[in-house]
Chain A
Amino acid sequence: MNTKDKSWKILSLTPIIAVLVILTLVPLVNIFYNSFFDIRWDDGKYNYTYIGLENYIELPNNKFYLPGLINTIKLSIFAVFFQMLFGFLIALGISKIKRGKGFFISLFLLPILLPPIVIGSIWRLMYGFDFGIFNYLLSFFGVFPLDWLGSSSLAFTSIVIVDIWHWTPFVVLLLLAGLESLPTDVYEAARVDGTSGWNEIVYITIPLMIPTIIVTMVFRFILSFKVFDEIYLLTQGGPGTSTEVISFSIYETFFESDNMGLGSVMSVVSLFVVSLLIIIVLNVIRRVNKYAN
Chain B
Amino acid sequence: MRTSTEKLINYIMLSFFAILVLAPFLWIATIAFKTQIDIMMMKIIFKPTLFNFDKLFFSKEATFFRDIFNSLFVGIISTLIILIICSMASFTMIRTKISNWITAVLFLWVIVFHMLPPITFVGSWFQMANSVGLFNSRVALILAHVTVNLPLGLLIISSFMRDVPTEIQEAAYIDGCSNRQVYLKVMLPLLGPGLFATAVIVFLFSWNDFMVAMNLTAKATQTVPVSIATFSQQYEVRYGEMAAGSLVSLVPALILTFFAQKYIVKGLTAGAVK
Bound-state Cα–Cα, A89 to B10, Å:
9
Chain B 109-166 interface residues, beta-carbon cutoff 8 Å to A: 109-113, 115-128, 143-144, 146-147, 150, 154
Known: A89-B13, A115-B224. A9 touches B92 (CB 8 A): yes
The smallest C-beta distance from B64 to any residue of chain A, in angstroms, reads: 14
**A12 at interface by CB-CB < 8 Å:** yes
Chain A contacts of B63 at CB under 8 A? none
Known: A117-B225, A232-B229. A13 touches B89 (CB 8 A): yes
Residue of A nearest to B270 (CB): A177
The smallest C-beta distance from A82 to any residue of chain B, in angstroms, reads: 12
The smallest C-beta distance from A19 to any residue of chain B, in angstroms, reads: 6
Please determine whether B1 and A96 come into contact, CB atoms closer than 8 angstroms: yes
Chain A contacts of B269 at CB under 8 A? 173-174, 177
Chain A contacts of B40 at CB under 8 A? 130-131
User: Which 9 A-B residue pairings sit nearest by Cβ, starting from the closest?
Assistant: A27-B124, A12-B88, A267-B120, A117-B225, A115-B208, A16-B89, A8-B179, A118-B246, A23-B147
Please determine whether B257 and A117 come into contact, CB atoms closer than 8 angstroms: no
Which of the 9-residue segments B25-33, B51-59, B190-198 touches chain A? B25-33
**B84 at interface by CB-CB < 8 Å:** yes
Please determine whether B119 and A247 come into contact, CB atoms closer than 8 angstroms: yes
Residues of B within 8 A of A (CB): 1-3, 6-7, 10-11, 13-14, 17-18, 20-22, 24-25, 27-28, 31, 39-42, 84-86, 88-89, 91-93, 95-98, 102, 106, 109-113, 115-128, 143-144, 146-147, 150, 154, 169-170, 173, 177-180, 182-183, 204, 207-208, 210-211, 215, 224-225, 228-229, 232, 239, 242-243, 246, 249-250, 253, 256-258, 261, 264-265, 268-269, 272-273
Bound-state Cα–Cα, A285 to B121, Å:
26
Residues of A within 8 A of B (CB): 1-3, 5, 8-9, 11-13, 15-17, 19-20, 23-24, 26-28, 30-31, 46, 86, 89-90, 93-94, 96-97, 102, 104-126, 130-131, 133, 136, 165, 169-170, 173-174, 177, 197, 215-216, 219, 222-223, 225-226, 228-229, 232-233, 246-247, 250-251, 254-255, 260, 263-264, 267, 270-271, 274-275, 278, 281-282, 285
Main secondary structure, interface of B, reads helix
Chain B contacts of A17 at CB under 8 A? 106
Chain A contacts of B28 at CB under 8 A? 118, 121-122, 125
Which residue, of A114, A130, A215, A247, has the highest number of chain B Cβ atoms within 10 A?
A114
Known: A105-B261, A130-B40, A232-B210. A197 touches B22 (CB 8 A): no
A-B contact count (CB 8 A): 278
Please determine whether A233 and B96 come into contact, CB atoms closer than 8 angstroms: no
Known: A16-B85, A90-B14, A125-B239. A109 touches B261 (CB 8 A): yes
27 contacts between A and B (CB under 8 A): A2-B177, A3-B97, A8-B180, A9-B179, A12-B92, A16-B106, A20-B150, A27-B124, A86-B17, A93-B13, A107-B22, A108-B21, A109-B261, A110-B25, A110-B257, A111-B21, A115-B228, A117-B228, A120-B229, A122-B25, A173-B265, A228-B117, A250-B123, A254-B123, A271-B120, A274-B115, A275-B112
The smallest C-beta distance from A283 to any residue of chain B, in angstroms, reads: 13
Please determine whether B210 and A117 come into contact, CB atoms closer than 8 angstroms: yes
The smallest C-beta distance from B16 to any residue of chain A, in angstroms, reads: 10
Extra contacts, 17 of them, besides A125-B242, A251-B215 (Cβ < 8 A), are A2-B96, A12-B89, A19-B146, A31-B123, A97-B7, A104-B14, A108-B21, A116-B208, A116-B210, A121-B246, A197-B6, A254-B123, A254-B126, A267-B119, A267-B123, A270-B117, A275-B112
Please determine whether A13 and B147 come into contact, CB atoms closer than 8 angstroms: no
Bound-state Cα–Cα, A114 to B22, Å:
12
Please determine whether A114 and B253 come into contact, CB atoms closer than 8 angstroms: yes
